[in-house]
């Protein structure tokens, strides 16, 4: 296709990648919105409830590295299409589960399918927008995650209340399959992408280790782990906190969670687009997000249970804007600094490391809640994690010499 056609087609690619992300997130983030129903039906503790979220994100911890490597060698459309089919199968079988243990097992399978969506969509957008509105495009694409979660929080609890959580699972599975197959039908790589991939070295520990030694990668790891732990802490526990502390019913609390994810959708686009102003701005926005999320959680700790709902809604929007919005500039930052022949592997490695926070945060925070008997200790742990990450990245960078720019994106 000629230059004009390519300019137009890349926006279709962005729409397809965003749709695939939104539908996959609708399915998987819907678990957080349904946590209260699962907790009730299976009579789960807080730690067991958190483990439900962990199960769905356990497989990507091990599979993302290999998915990222495959993306540098094979078509994104093939990998995302297969991933959507696996996600569909895992959720449908999870809906038929008769025990908590079986449910956990099928959620692991669903997570395996989901692991293709994140790096696959990010790499496709990076390929078409690299060097030209990358932050904006990546922010729009990453907005699919909280957008899907917001829609799930708005409608899946109502479905679960009217029918059952099993029916809600099937609805989410169908949406994920449709989004993934649509992307597979639409996407084509830009000219020259296959040639770059053919020169790429084989996956090996030295190749991965060389990425991990980069200072920008270490900064991305620390900031990403802290912020993703906060993100999934908020997604998992906000509804339950509002139910137990502020006595707000689950179906009404789902509206607050939906509001937070809608604000996160706006945040991913706004923060990522803002980061296009200068490469260094991408990481500075991550530092700002750590401060903003920690401040919002502190407010959440100190507000009394009779706080008016409009004030709680404003707080939920603040936590969503920064607590979910950070991911847009983070992915743009990682994609921009990645070596041209290792974009998929770099994204897969960074996202795999993020899975540690996604997997550990919900059950560990649930355990803290069970041991402490309340939510203050749970939220305080997240504030502490964010403070340590801020000190390890931003404050460390501040004491470097002015001429040291190794933590910023390198020009290609």
Please, what sign has the CA dihedral across residues 66, 78, 330, 369?
negative
pLDDT at 377: 92
Range(s) of the domain holding residue 222: 7-398
Residue 25 lies in a domain: yes
Residue 404 lies in a domain: no
Residue 291 lies in a domain: yes
C-alpha–C-alpha distance, residues 164 and 159, integer Å: 7
C-alpha–C-alpha distance, residues 297 and 292, integer Å: 9
Residue with tokens 């993100």: 231
pLDDT at 351: 82
Residue 86 belongs to domain with CATH number: 1.20.1250.20
pLDDT at 192: 61
Q: Where would I find the H helices in 96-188?
A: 100-114, 117-129, 134-142, 144-162, 165-186
* Total number of domains in the chain: 1
C-alpha–C-alpha distance, residues 260 and 324, integer Å: 8
Residue 405 lies in a domain: no
Picking from 5, 54, 21, 43, the residue whose alpha carbon sits closest to that of residue 360 is 54
Q: Whole-model pTM above 0.85?
A: no
Residue 309 lies in a domain: yes
Could you list the pLDDT tens digit for every one of the 412 residues in the chain? 556 677 788 889 999 999 999 999 898 878 878 888 888 888 888 778 878 877 887 777 777 777 877 777 777 888 899 999 999 999 999 999 888 999 999 999 998 888 888 778 888 888 888 766 777 888 888 788 878 887 888 888 889 888 989 999 999 999 999 999 999 999 888 876 654 444 445 555 667 777 777 787 888 889 999 999 999 899 888 988 999 888 888 888 888 988 998 898 899 888 888 877 765 677 888 899 999 999 999 999 999 989 999 999 999 999 999 999 898 888 888 877 777 767 777 877 888 888 888 888 888 888 898 888 889 999 999 999 999 999 988 765 554 433 444 444 444 4
Residue 179 lies in a domain: yes
Residue 409 lies in a domain: no
Residue 210 lies in a domain: yes
């Amino acid at each position: 296709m000629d230059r004009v056609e390519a300019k137009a087609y890349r926006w279709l690619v962005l729409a397809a990648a965003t749709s695939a992300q939104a539908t996959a997130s609708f399915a998987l983030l819907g678990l957080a919105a349904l946590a209260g129903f699962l907790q009730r039906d299976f009579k789960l503790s807080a730690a067991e409830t958190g483990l439900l979220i962990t199960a769905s994100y356990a497989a990507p911890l091990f599979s993302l590295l290999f998915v990222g490597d495959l993306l540098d060698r094979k078509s994104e459309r093939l990998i995302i299409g297969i991933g959507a089919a696996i996600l569909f199968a895992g959720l449908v079988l999870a809906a038929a589960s008769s025990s908590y243990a079986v449910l956990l097992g099928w959620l692991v399978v669903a997570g395996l399918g989901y692991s293709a969506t994140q790096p696959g969509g990010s790499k496709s957008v990076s390929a078409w927008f690299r060097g030209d509105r990358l932050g904006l495009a990546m922010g729009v694409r990453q907005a699919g995650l909280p957008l899907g979660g917001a829609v799930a929080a708005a409608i899946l609890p109502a479905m679960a209340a009217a029918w059952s959580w099993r029916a809600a699972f099937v609805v989410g599975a169908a949406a994920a399959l449709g989004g993934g197959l649509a992307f597979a039908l639409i996407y084509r790589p830009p000219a020259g992408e296959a040639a770059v991939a053919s020169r790429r070295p084989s996956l090996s520990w030295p190749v991965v280790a060389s990425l991990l030694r980069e200072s920008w990668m270490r900064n991305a790891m620390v900031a990403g782990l802290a912020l993703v732990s906060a993100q999934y802490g908020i997604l998992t526990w906000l509804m339950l906190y509002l139910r137990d502390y502020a006595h707000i019913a689950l179906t009404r609390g789902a509206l607050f969670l939906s509001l937070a994810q809608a604000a996160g959708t706006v945040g991913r686009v706004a923060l990522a687009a803002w980061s296009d102003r200068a490469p260094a701005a991408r990481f500075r926005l991550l530092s700002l997000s750590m401060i903003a999320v920690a401040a919002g959680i502190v407010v959440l700790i100190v507000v009394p249970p009779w706080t008016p709902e409009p004030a709680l809604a404003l707080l939920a929007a603040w936590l969503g804007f920064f607590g979910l919005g950070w991911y847009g500039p983070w992915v743009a930052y990682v994609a921009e600094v990645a070596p041209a022949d290792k974009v998929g592997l770099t994204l897969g490695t960074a996202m795999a490391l993020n899975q540690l926070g996604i997997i550990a945060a919900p059950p560990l925070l649930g355990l803290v809640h069970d041991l402490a008997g309340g939510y203050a200790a749970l939220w305080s742990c997240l504030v502490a994690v964010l403070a340590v990450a801020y000190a390890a990245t931003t404050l460390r960078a501040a004491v470097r010499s002015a001429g040291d720019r190794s933590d910023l994106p390198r020009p290609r």
